Amino acid sequence: MRYLAIFLSVGFAGGQTLPKIGEMLDTAGSARPVFGVAGNFLVGAVDAANVVSEACSERLCLTKTASTIRSATGETDSPPGPAIFGLDGTTAIVYFPQTRTFARWHDDMLDPLDWVVDREVLSIGTNEIGASQIAVRRGDTVVIVTPDGAILDSLPSPSGPVLLLSQQVLFTDGDSLVLKKPNASELRFDLPGAISFSPLSAHYAEIRAGSALYALRIDAGREHLFQLPGSQP
Amino acid sequence: MTRVLVIALLLPLAARAQLAMYAVNGSIETPLGVMYNMGNVAEGDTVDLRIRIRNLGSNSVTVTQFYGLGAGFTLDSPAGQFAMAPGTLRDFILHFSANTLATFTAWIQLNDISAIVSATTVIPPVLAILPGCSSPASLTIAFGPVNQNQSLLCNFTLQNPNTQPMTISMLTVTGQGFQGPLGPSVPFTLASGQTISFAINFTPSAPAFYFGTLAIETRSYSLMGSGFDLTSPILSFDTTSIKSSQQHQLIMSLPSPSPATLSGSVNIAFLPDTALVTDDPAVLFLATGTRSLPFTVNQGATQILIGGFSTAAFQTGTSSGRIRFTVSGPGISNNPTDLIVPPSIISLDTAIATRRATDLDVSLIGFDNTYSAGVMTFIFYSTSGQQLSPGAFRADFTSNFRSYFTSTQAGGQFQALVTFPVTGSTLGILGVDVNLTNAAGNTATQHLLFQ
């Protein structure tokens, strides 16, 4: 046989922990793990309190407090206020709306960037070749631009939040969430009043609508909107 | 002439002997005598004394004087004279009320008969209503809606606020549907500052409003309650097909308009089919992440608002069994509503095959709502699409799964990583088919390609 493979044994290495969905930012400003499978969520104990922004991917989870950015390995001082994260592997581009500055986060350090965007920054993402993209509101229009200002795409006048995902864009249109796919097709989910988006994990986006929190599964072919437990006082 | 005069002189004496005054309490008459003490009266309260005049003689008597004089007292006496035939009686009410602490007296005059009636104002005992009942107005105690033939017990405390001991001679509950007081027996004495507890039970026998009276010494409290005949709230759902790992909506309504504004709680519980676990913690209401939500229904409405909303989202968990909904609250009957979550084959949320230099990993995330998973079969394929020998590779991880389910008590969800050490190159292995078995049947993955 050309490709010889002999299976000596089989080892069962799993089953010791619950499957983890991601990390949510609850309505009290606490970061909490979310366990389970789609449609069956269990929210764990508080990992961090007084969190103002959070973003998680497969390999990285960053939380922003008033003046620090924390990861699983440490924390670093940062400009005040909330942050918009664009996660890329084990690094991230971070935008601080209060100071209107960009920085690159890596290894629990922040390196300032000289990017200048003179409009409201809504989201930061990375395209399939690793280039950064920024969603910017310009009047009634949202455009997706490169850090040097080149326009890549535009969205049909969404007034609410925008989240750049891996090859997808999430935004609102009236009482609907719109998930724009790489082929420009759109999936819509009824949810009035969405006020913020954040990456819950590589597979879910967290949505706040009023006092409720939702998780939108974004895996291709398995898109579904769920409500997260314990999201109302 | 002399004879006539004698008769005339005797007439007042005869009239006096014919009339008598009594204090009437219920059916008991007590001669008023020269002095009559009404006892202690709570300051600010009004207490009535029924005074009865009897003509005990065999002749008619004209009452020319009948009045009462004294601060705090008012006698409902008739204007002018009135006659009383032999053997007749007439009742009059003497009211007393005062807002200062003192002993008050009234002079009662009936023709040439006189009496002094006294009353002493005191600070009344302090009644406190413990949670469970309410006092929507002064001197009113509301028991709230209670389903007919069910009971609601209200607890009270009574305290003597005076610096002197206080004897409680009157502590009664009257009124259909109200039973009590449960606790102390009168008479009893409360030392200064002392508190005692007692209770009143309300058991409506029919749908109606009920009224009663709690009398404590001279003070009376109105008791109010309402009985209802509610059928269970109707619980409905956004689907008739329930499966594990789903989120659904609960809707609650009444079959007819609510006779009153009611509130209570709706509760969710889970009864698993398996004995390996006692619960599934993911079965909960999503709004709060808890197993109980408050609900209200307004008077005249049929729709029940759950936590302020028309629906309540809940999760079905990852265990087969029964999701049980119960409702509780005054006036709400409690008939459980069960949703059956049937056993199902293993559901895979994610299945990933990963290649390493000397190992092949198969990562499986999903749930087994029967808690019987363990048997797996793996069939590997070469890059040419040929099934690799020795063919189907069967493994039994039942004990691992049972141990995991038992220790986590977190439902049937699992994350399993199966590793195959390989001798030789793993590059020639393209993919794997995985078959998982539980008590409900088999689950086969799509052809997983090693990444």
Structural domains of chain A, ranges and CATH numbers in brackets: 20-227 (2.120.10.30)
pLDDT score recorded for residue B233: 85
Tokens of B390: 């020795």
Residues B295, B334 within the same domain: yes
Q: Which residue of A has its CA nearest to B282?
A: A42
Among B228, B243, B261, residue at a domain's last position: B228
Quote the tokens at residue B441.
């049947």
B116 plus B8 within the same structural domain? yes
**Average pLDDT score over residue span B147-166:** 89
Query: What b/e readout covers B372-390, taking b as 16+ CB neighbours within 10 angstroms?
Result: bbbbbbbbbbbeeeeebee
Average pLDDT score over residue span B110-116: 94
Q: Which residues, in sequence order, are CB contacts of B434 under 8 Å at separation 6+?
A: B351, B362, B364, B376, B377, B378, B444, B445, B448
**What is the total count of domains within chain B?**
4
- Residue A23 in tokens: 């990390």
Which residues, at least 6 apart from B304, have a Cβ–Cβ distance to it below 8 Å? B233, B252, B253, B254, B295, B296, B297
Rounded to whole angstroms, the Cα distance separating B49 from B118 reads 11
First to last CA, chain B: 145
**Which whole number is the average pLDDT over A90-117?**
96
Same domain, B365 and B396: yes
| A84 in Cβ contact with A121 (< 8 Å) | yes
Query: What per-residue confidence (pLDDT) applies to B424?
Result: 82
- What are the distances in angstroms from CA B431 to CA B88, B266, B323, B448? 115, 49, 40, 5
pLDDT at residue B248, rounded to an integer: 97
> With 90 as the cut, is the pLDDT of residue A17 above it?
no
- What is the token pair recorded at B215? 């009398």
Give the strand pairing for B292-297 and B448-449: unpaired
Which of B289, B313, B341 is the last residue before a domain boundary?
B341
pLDDT of residue A83: 98
- Count CB neighbours of B368 within 10 A: 29
Task: Please judge whether A19 and B388 are an interchain contact, meaning their C-beta atoms are less than 8 angstroms apart.
Answer: no
CA distance A76 to chain B (A): 33
State whether B333 and B251 are in the same domain: yes
CA distance B141 to B199: 12
Q: Give residue B246's pLDDT band: very low, low, confident or very high (50, 70, 90).
A: very high
**Cβ atoms within 10 Å of B56's Cβ, excluding its own:** 12
Over residues A133-161, the pLDDT tens digits come to: 999 998 888 999 999 999 999 987 667 89
CA distance A196 to A85: 13
Q: CB–CB of B411 and A227 under 8 A?
A: no
Same domain, B389 and B318: no
The 3-class secondary structure across chain A, one letter per residue, is CCCCCEECCCEECCCCCCCEEEEEECCCCCEEEEEEECCEEEECCCCECCCCEEEECCCCEEEECCCEEECCCCEEECCCCCCEEEEECCEEEEEECCCCEEEEEECCEEEEECCCCCCEEEEEEECCCCCEEEEEEECCEEEEECCCCCEEEEECCCCCCEEEECCEEEEEECCEEEEECCCCCEEEEECCCEEEEEECCCCEEEEEECCEEEEEECCCCCCEEEECCCCCC
Q: Which residue has the higher pLDDT, A174 or A99?
A: A99
Shared domain for B403 and B337, answered yes or no, is no
Cα gap A67→A69, rounded to integer Å: 7
Is A18 in contact with B408 (Cβ distance < 8 A)?
A: yes
CA–CA dist B336, B267 (Å, integer):
10
Residue A9 in this model has a pLDDT that exceeds 80: no
Q: Could you tell me the two tokens for B283?
A: 């079965």
> Could you give the ipTM of this predicted complex?
0.90
Residue that finishes a domain, picked among B228, B246, B279: B228
Q: Is the pLDDT of residue B266 over 60?
A: yes
B344 Cβ under 8 Å from any chain A Cβ: no
- Chains A, B: CB pairs < 8 Å: 143
Nearest residue, CB atoms, B416 vs list A14, A20, A226? A14
B439, B333: one domain: no
Which residue does chain B place closest to A42, by CA atoms?
Answer: B282
| Cα A48 from Cα A202, distance rounded (Å) | 20
Do residue B243 and residue B269 come from a single domain? yes
Tokens of B433: 């088919």
Specify whether B293 is located in the same domain as B182.
no
Specify the DSSP element, H or E, that contains B127. strand B126-129
Give the model's pLDDT for residue A4: 43
**Of residues B232 and B113, more confidently modeled:** B113
Asked whether the predicted pLDDT for residue B319 surpasses 90, the reply is yes
Which of A36, A42, A227 lies at the smallest CB-CB distance from B313? A227
Contacts of B357 in chain A (CB under 8 A): none
The residue among B79 and B165 whose pLDDT is bigger is B165
What's B49's domain CATH number?
A: 2.60.40.10
B186-210: pLDDT as tens digits = 999 999 999 999 999 999 988 777 8
Q: Does position B177 have pLDDT exceeding 50, yes or no?
A: yes
Same-domain status, B193 and B83: no
Q: Identify all chain A residues contacting B425, using CB atoms and an 8 Å cutoff.
A: 3-5
Amino acid at site A138: R
> How far apart (Å, rounded) are the C-alpha atoms in residues A103 and A74?
17
pTM: 0.69
Range of the domain at B442: 347-449
Q: In Å, how far are B270, B372, B404 from B368, measured between CA atoms?
A: 16, 7, 12
Place of tokens 């001279």: B218
- Average of pLDDT values for A42-60? 95
Instruction: Inform me whether the pLDDT recorded for B313 exceeds 90.
Output: yes
CB A207 within 8 A of CB A195: no
**B138 and B117 fall within a common domain:** no
Confidence band of B258 (pLDDT split at 50, 70, 90)? confident
Cβ contacts of A41 on chain B, cutoff 8 Å: 282, 315
To the nearest whole number, what is the mean pLDDT of chain A?
90
- Taking the C-alpha atoms of residue B320 and residue B441, their distance in angstroms, rounded to an integer, is 14
* Closest among A156, A83, A169 to A126, alpha carbons compared: A169
Q: Chain-wide mean pLDDT for chain B? A: 89
Region A187-201 average pLDDT: 96
Cα–Cα distance, B63 to B40 (Å, whole number): 31
Please indicate whether residue A173 or residue A63 has the higher confidence score (pLDDT). Answer: A63
Q: What's B363's domain CATH number?
A: 2.60.40.4070
Q: Identify the residue with better confidence: A18 or B292.
A: B292
- Nearest-CA residue of chain A relative to B392? A7
Q: Is B289 on the interface with A (CB under 8 A)?
A: yes
DSSP string, B9-76: HHHHHHHHHHEEEEEEETTEEEE--SEEEEEEEETT-EEEEEEEEEE-SSS-EEE--EEEE-TTEEE-
Q: Quick one: chain B helix, strand, coil %, rounded to 5? A: 5, 55, 40
> How far apart are alpha carbons A141 and A158 in whole angstroms?
7
Specify whether B241 is located in the same domain as B215.
no
The answer to whether residue B17 scores a pLDDT higher than 70 is no
